Amino acid sequence: MQNLPKQLIYSIGLLAFSIVVSSILYLLRPTTALTEPVYNPITVDVAIAKKETIRIPIQAQGNISAVHQTQLQSEVKGKIIELAENFEVGGFIKKNEILLRIDPRDYKTAIIKSEAAVEAAESILIQEKGRSKVAREEWLKIPKGSQRNKEASDLYLRKPQLELAEAELRAAQADLRTAHDNLDRTLIRAPYDALVTQRIADLGQFVSPGVNVATVVSVEVAKVRLPIPQGKLPYLQLPKIGEKNGEVIDLYTDTNGKIRHWTATLNRTEGIFDERSRTLFAVAYIQDPYSLNSSKNYPLRIGTFVNANILGRPIEDLVVLPKYVLRTGNEVLVVDENNKLRIRKVALLKTGGDLAFVSNGINEGEKISLTTLGGEIVGAEVKIVSETETSELHENGMPPKKPSEPLYEVASEKKDAVVAGI
């Protein structure tokens, strides 16, 4: 032992001490009692499926434009001597209101000359009628046996001269009407209730026939072109080709932070698809867009960008769900009769927004989980915290509704109820 190194002795001592301490701890260990694991079921909110008949809207966007836009041109030449007070860009002009006046003196002189020509032609005609009457009386005195061919008879009775005098009178009267028309053309009037969008002519300017003096747009009616995707046409009741005045639609836009609405009427479809976007344009008309005849509505100016909701035809047996409950591949979690989660694939209508319209895959009364869960819990038992019918989800604002546009109509035998939504 004396020959063993000190380091080896220390190592053996430490090992022996460790064994003793471990033995003591093992002998003093507490007893372990086996307990059953506690299972807490997953809590979920569910929606009870209720099938409804719904008119789904299609959202579209477009710019307000004028139904009529006219470039007013001068039909006569002359100097502009008067302008209307409202003949400014942005001015409203009533139908047939005078916009400007061209110097009429030359045209009044032309009327005087034309009137004199008419009077002269009338005098010549009276003279020819008198000569014709005298010639007829003399013609009757000629013996019947004399040779009387038609040409000689007409010439003797002065029929060609009489016809010439009548023709000259008609020509003089036509010139007089033209002179009056030219005088009237010195007044350029609005062709309809209009808004001046461009003023080209000014006071003292000399204009010639065909020269543009202004551009005006109609304010009685405005229109908006709304693109409808080809895949959404089956949901809508658009006017057929050749038909007019279809569904009433809602237009809205954000004006200085405030949502404003206008009513429009579908007038027609343009009948052809856009080759690039594969959309069909529907045209809607808005009466009195500038609210000139009513102060109840806010003016809808030409060029305004608006959103539109076009309500579709009634579709039966739809279940409405918030879109967030959908899983990848159009699947939803259904709680079966044993309160266990099952995956169900459903068929959806192709619509936008925050709601999903299920057309197939869910039966009346089935329970759909509204709680977002992972895929690994399929088959797990759940505890239902609350139950809500699917028809109440959108009525109670789930998903959150925006006041800017109606979501859709729920068809009713008594009255259609418009539900606000996305």
Q: Is residue 353 part of a domain?
A: no
CATH number at residue 176: 1.10.287
- What gap in Å lies between CA 398 and CA 220, rounded to an integer? 40
Domain count, the chain: 1
Q: Report pLDDT digits (tens) over 169-193.
A: 999 999 999 999 999 999 999 999 9
Pick from 340, 362, 330: which is nearest to 48 by CA? 362
Q: Tell me the sheet residues that pair with 69.
A: 217
Q: Is residue 174 part of a domain?
A: yes
Pick from 165, 158, 160, 168: which is nearest to 134 by CA? 158
Tell me: pLDDT of 418 over 60: no
pLDDT band at 164 (very low <50, low <70, confident <90, very high): confident
Whole-structure pTM value: 0.67
pLDDT band at 420 (very low <50, low <70, confident <90, very high): very low
Ramachandran angles phi, psi of 383, nearest 5°: -115, 125
Longest distance between any two alpha carbons in the chain, whole Å: 193
Q: Is residue 421 part of a domain?
A: no
Q: Is residue 221 part of a domain?
A: no
Q: Is residue 344 part of a domain?
A: no
Ramachandran angles phi, psi of 262, nearest 5°: -135, 155
Ramachandran angles phi, psi of 132, nearest 5°: -65, -35
Q: Which residue has the higher pLDDT, 325 or 103?
A: 103
Q: Report pLDDT digits (tens) over 117-131.
A: 999 999 988 888 888
Q: Is residue 258 part of a domain?
A: no
pLDDT at 118: 92
Q: Report pLDDT digits (tens) over 238-255.
A: 777 666 667 888 999 987
Q: Which residue has the higher pLDDT, 190 or 12?
A: 190
pLDDT band at 3 (very low <50, low <70, confident <90, very high): low
Q: Is residue 148 part of a domain?
A: yes
- What gap in Å lies between CA 273 and CA 263, rounded to an integer? 26
Mean pLDDT of the 416-422 span: 33
pLDDT at 100: 94
pLDDT at 11: 77
Q: Which residue has the higher pLDDT, 198 or 403?
A: 198
Q: Is residue 194 part of a domain?
A: yes
pLDDT, the chain, mean: 82
- Structural domain span for residue 203: 78-207
